[in-house]
Structure 1
Amino acid sequence: MAALIADGHLEVPIANVYPLTQVGQTYTELERRHTHGKIVLRP
């Protein structure tokens, strides 16, 4: 799968990127269920 992404054959939409310190806000966004893509937590 990583090769498909790297080659541009597969796109993974990312809704938002949050720092790990904002994990609470991340869960709030998930509970709303209005995201169009993945939510990423950045260490």
Structure 2
Amino acid sequence: MLAEPAGLIADGHLEVPIASVYPLAQVREPCTELEGRHTHGRIVLRP
């Protein structure tokens, strides 16, 4: 199911905007960011 979108991303045909990246230990910060509803892109939690 993810193979097709992953291939499009790898080939440069699909771009996924990332607003910010947080370590999993700081999970409260992205929650606060989402509550403000001013994000333009995805918020990523890094394990």
Normalised TM-score (structure 1): 0.97
Q: Which runs of 4+ in 1 moved over 6 A?
A: none
Alignment of 1:21-32 (within 5 A): 21-32=25-36
* Greater RCO (CA < 8 Å, at least 6 residues apart): 1
The Cα of 1:15 is off from its aligned counterpart by 0.2
Larger radius of gyration: 2
In the alignment, structure 1 residue 3 sits paired with structure 2 residue 19: no
Identity of aligned residues (%): 77
Q: Which runs of 5+ in 1 are unaligned?
A: none
Number of matched residues? 43
Q: Which runs of 5+ in 2 are unaligned?
A: none
Normalised TM-score (structure 2): 0.89
Letter in 2 for 1:9: H
Letter in 2 for 1:28: T
Letter in 1 for 2:32: T
Q: CA RMSD in A?
A: 0.4
The Cα of 1:9 is off from its aligned counterpart by 0.2
